[in-house]
Chain A
Amino acid sequence: MADGAGESVSSEIGQGITIAKTGEPGAFGGELLTINFGPHHPSTHGVLRLIVDLDGEQVRRLKPVIGYLHTGIEKQAEALRWQQVVVVTDRHDYLSPPINNLAYALAVERLLGVDVPPRAEALRVIMSELTRLSSHLVWLGTSGIELGASTMLMYCFRERDTILDMNEEISGFRMHTSYIRPGGVMADATPRFLEMLDRFIAKMPSNIDEYEDLLTMNPIFRSRTIGIGRLPAEDAKVLGATGPMLRGSGVAWDLRRSMPYSGYENYDFEVATSDLCDCYGRYLVRIKEMREAVKILRQALDRLPDGPVNIDDRKVLPPPREELETSMEAVIHHFKLFTEGYTVPPGDVYVAVESGRGENGCYVVSDGTHKPRRVKFRAASFVNLQPLERMAMNHMVADMVAIIGTADAVLGDVDR
């Protein structure tokens, strides 16, 4: 196996982690100090490692080292059949599984050239927005703890528990639902789910008010976030940031509005932005997005159309359970589908959806066989982590915690 270690190549390939030169002078008369932050650190949101050069307590250089959660998901997807890949998509950005499913499902559907029924689209929107809420709740809770508001975790996870209960009701599983699949969704919403959702939508706005009571005017929280980690709009665009990172810098770019998918053009919602460009701005954007998500949920629930939730194609989706007892053809389809799967016409497609962290894309290449040739996940956190050095520059080490927090990187998404 050629790993490119030839004579001429070695000069182009770096030598791993670079560390500050010993004794490099700082601005305050001392020397730069290199410290290692992570990968096991309570406030790095997972196994992120940072190599930081400090001048006194100020950050002069910062180098994220990632890969501590590299799972080989893209390689694994190449070894699985088309319908099996759904399971691994759940697990890369583990705070927003249905949105990952959606990106993959939309990509495969574009290659197959099929459109899902309206009820399936509405259910997909419901699951996406519930997921966005639960993902923001985890962010709010854990960031709250890091910035000295331990109560936030208890409040936020109370609502997240409700959402996970709804996930369980509709798909049978709390976190990794695998609910959205190429060709539709796993199962229709149960009446109990719709009832739970209705109650949740009625209750959630007052809960968000509660979070805001605790944080928005909280002097400690404000002094730790306002003016910290500034990322001007131009820099955010150049560095490729998406999601709340970009909108927190005042750029109204939301894929649900800019490049709608799955029927998002039919919903009335505002794209949350903030001109503050700092950690506090990103916090405000996420709070606003939670309110908008509740609005979308209300519209989706009120206008939930009737009809099937899957496409009527026995080559892609299994026949209903009842048919297996009466129809030989159904049994054959079922057998073929679960032993060799289906094939997808050759070609490649890129589909991007808006997750809680930004643009969550899925690039799929088919070579016409039963397994994908290549599945590439365009991870929002992977790109959003790159402006970290730009944001943390000249800040205190303690502020770095706030900056990592509001970047909201999920390490499973970064490393895949």
Chain B
Amino acid sequence: MIVDSLIVDRGVSAGDAWITVASENARDALSALKGDGYQLLVFLTCVDHLADQSRDWPARYELLYQLRNLETREQLRVRAFVDGDPPRIDSVSDLFPPANWDERETYDMFGIVFTGHPDLTRILMPDDWVGHPLRRDYPVGGEVVEFSEEHEAWRTAPEKA
């Protein structure tokens, strides 16, 4: 049974129920929810709220755990906010086996360090890649497209573009 003291905030977003927990309690809360019947971790991901004006965010990175109860078909999203360099949170890969690769992907893409993960390595990018591509301050990359505004700037002053 999840205790109310763990829950910082709760609400419904576009029909999806969610709760927020403090990042240091995330593992305890998920463990309690697993005991409540939320057996399946559908996915785990992160959202980077760098320069997000839509509301006042407690921290830059928001970790999301989408849980599902296969019997009652209820879903619950657990949010935890983390900051720091590197941001850290406890791993849940032993509670929910699918989290293993999800956590590796989140480490690869956002640089979140999951304490206690058995093999926290890059999963999608090459092992020697520098940076975490899905962070908002990481450029999209690619090449300048011809006839676009960027190309115009690059053509007139390539050293500045």
* Complex Cα gap A373–B57 (Å): 14
Given contacts A4-B111, A359-B42, contact A72 B120 (CB under 8 A): no
In B36-66, which residues have CB < 8 Å from any A CB?
A: 39-43, 45, 47-49, 52-55, 64, 66
A14 CA / B93 CA spacing, docked (Å)? 15
Residue of B nearest to A383 (CB): B98
CA distance A151 to B132 in the complex (A): 45
B86 within 8 A of A: yes
**Is B158's CB within 8 Å of the partner chain A?**
no
Q: Known: A75-B133, A376-B45. Is A1-B138 also a contact (CB below 8 A)?
A: yes
Cβ A75 vs Cβ B134 within 8 A: yes
By the criterion CB–CB under 8 Å, are A240 and B96 in contact? yes
The reply to whether the CB of A206 lies closer than 8 angstroms to some CB of chain B is no
- What are the residues of chain B within 8 A of A27 when measuring CB–CB? none
Docked-complex contact A349 and B113, CB < 8 angstroms: no
User: How far is it, in angstroms, between the C-alpha of A78 and the C-alpha of B134 when the chains are bound?
Assistant: 9
CB of B13 within 8 A of chain A?
yes
Q: Mark A102-133, 1 if CB is under 8 A from B, else 0.
A: 00000000110100000000000000000000
Q: Are B124 and A70 in contact (CB under 8 A)?
A: yes
How many Å from the CB of A200 to the closest CB on chain B?
34
Min CB distance, B156 to chain A, in Å? 23
Task: Say yes or no for B130: interface residue by CB 8 A criterion.
Answer: yes
Q: Hey, what's the 0/1 contact readout for A152-196 against B, CB within 8 Å counting as 1?
A: 000000000000000000000000000000000000000000000
Q: Across the interface, do A4 and B113 meet the contact criterion of CB distance under 8 Å?
A: yes
Contacts of A1 in B (CB 8 A): 130-132, 135, 137-138
Q: How many A-B residue pairs have CB under 8 A?
A: 139
- A12 lies within 8 A of B117 (CB): yes
- Interface range, A side: 35 or more
Cα A70 to Cα B131 with chains together (Å) = 15
The answer to whether B124 and A67 have CB atoms under 8 Å apart is: yes
Q: Please measure, in the bound complex, the distance between the C-alpha atom of A374 and the C-alpha atom of B110, giving whole angstroms.
A: 12
Residue of A66, A258, A376 ringed by the most chain B CB atoms within 10 A? A376
Instruction: Collect the chain A residues with CB atoms within 8 Å of residue B124's CB.
Output: 66-67, 70, 415-416
Q: B73 contacts which chain A residues (CB < 8 A)?
A: 258-259
**Residues from 369 to 388 in A contacting B, C-beta threshold 8 Å:** 373-374, 376, 378, 382-383, 386
Residues on the B chain within 8 Å of A347, using CB: 13-14
B132 touches A238 (CB 8 A): no
The answer, among B85, B96, B140, for a CB contact under 8 Å with A76, is B140
Q: Is B146 an interface residue (CB 8 A)?
A: no
Whether B13 contacts A348 by the Cβ 8 Å rule is: yes
Residue of B nearest to A70 (CB): B124
Q: Does B150 contact A (CB under 8 A)?
A: no
| Candidates B16, B105, B113, B141; contact of A348 at CB < 8 Å | B16
The stretch from A263-271, A285-293, A360-368 touching chain B is: A360-368
The verdict on A237 contacting chain B, using a C-beta distance below 8 Å, is yes
Q: Is B111 a contact partner of A237 (Cβ separation < 8 A)?
A: no
- Chain B residues near A74: list those with CB within 8 A: 109, 134
Check if A9 is an interface residue, CB within 8 A of chain B. yes
Query: In the bound complex, how far is the Cα of B114 from the Cα of A14, in angstroms?
Result: 12
A13 lies within 8 A of B113 (CB):
yes
Q: What is the CA–CA distance of A359 and B98 in the complex, to the nearest angstrom?
A: 13
- B47 close to A373 (CB less than 8 A): yes
Q: Which residues of B contact A (CB under 8 A)?
A: 13-16, 39-43, 45, 47-49, 52-55, 64, 66, 70, 73, 75, 77, 85-86, 96-98, 100-101, 105, 107, 109, 111, 113-115, 117, 119-127, 130-138, 140-141
User: What are 6 pairs between A and B in contact, CB < 8 Å?
Assistant: A1-B132, A1-B135, A72-B133, A240-B96, A348-B14, A348-B47
Closest 4 CB pairs of A and B: A240-B98, A4-B86, A67-B124, A346-B54
